[in-house]
Amino acid sequence: MKRVLKICIIVAFAGILFAGGAYWFLVQKPNTAVSDNGIIYIRPGDSFETVMQLLHERKYIQNEYTLRQVARLKRYPELIKAGRYRIQDGMSNNQLINMLRAGNQEAVSFTFNNIRTLNDFAQTMNRQLAIDSAAFMHLAQDFLFVDSLGFTPSNFISMFIPNTYQVYWNTSLPSFVRRMHLEYRKFWNSERRNKAERAGFSPIEISIIASIVEEETNVASEYPIIAGVYINRLHKGWKLEACPTLKFALGDFTIKRVLDRHIAIDSPYNTYKYAGLPPGPIRMPSPRAIDAVLDYQHHEYMFFCAKSDFSGTHHFSRTLREHNRHAREYHRALNQKRIY
Write down the pLDDT at residue 240: 97
Q: Is the pLDDT of residue 14 over 50?
A: no
| Amino acid 10: pLDDT | 52
pLDDT at 21: 56
Q: What is the CA radius of gyration of the chain?
A: 31
Higher pLDDT, 207 or 45: 207
Task: Indicate the pLDDT class of residue 3, thresholds 50, 70 and 90.
Answer: low
- In the chain, CATH 3.30.1490 sits at 21-102
Task: Give the residue-averaged pLDDT of 225-240.
Answer: 97
Q: How confident is the model at residue 174 (pLDDT cuts 50, 70, 90)?
A: very high
pLDDT above 70 covers a percentage of the chain that reads: 92
Digit-coded pLDDT (tens) for 73-121 = 999 999 999 999 999 999 999 999 999 999 999 999 999 999 999 999 9
Q: Which residue type sits at 231?
A: I
CA distance 242 to 275: 11
- pLDDT score of 25: 52
**What is the average pLDDT across 306-333?**
92
Q: What's the whole-number mean pLDDT along residues 178-196?
A: 97
- CATH no. of 21-102: 3.30.1490
Binning pLDDT at 50, 70 and 90, where does residue 8 land?
Answer: low
Q: What is the mean pLDDT of residues 21-34?
A: 73
User: Residue 224 and residue 245: Cα distance in Å, rounded?
Assistant: 19
Measured from the Cβ of residue 160, the count of other Cβ atoms closer than 10 Å reads: 19
pLDDT given at position 257? 83
Most confident range (mean pLDDT) of 20-29, 141-150, 256-265 is: 141-150
| Mean pLDDT value of segment 244-249 | 95
- Nearest-CA neighbor of 80 among 116, 54, 111? 54
Binned at pLDDT 50, 70 and 90, residue 23 comes out as: low
- Burial letters 79-111, b for 16+ CB under 10 A, else e: ebbbbbbebeeebbbbbbbebbbeeebbebebe
Is residue 9 packed enough to be buried (19+ CB in 10 Å), middle (13-18) or exposed (0-12)?
exposed
Query: Which residues in 31-46 are b (16+ Cβ under 10 Å) and which e?
Result: bbebeeebebebeeee
Q: What is the pLDDT of residue 166?
A: 96
pTM: 0.86
3-state per-residue secondary structure call for the chain: CHHHHHHHHHHHHHHHHHHHHHHHHHHHCECECCCCCCEEEECCCCCHHHHHHHHHHCCCECCHHHHHHHHHHCCHHHCCCCEEEECCCCCEHHHHHHHHHHCCCCCEEEEECCCCCHHHHHHHHHHHCCCCHHHHHHHHCCHHHHHHCCCCCCCHHHHCCCEEEEECCCCCHHHHHHHHHHHHHHHCCHHHHHHHHHHCCCHHHHHHHHHHHHHHCCCHHHHHHHHHHHHHHHHHCCCCCCHHHHHHHHCCCCCCCCCHHHHCCCCCCCCCCCCCCCCCCCCCCCHHHHHHHHCCCCCCCCEEEECCCCCCCEEEECCHHHHHHHHHHHHHHHHHCCCC
Give me the phi and psi of 61, to 5 degrees please: -105, 130
Specify the pLDDT at position 338.
81
Mean pLDDT, the chain, integer: 91
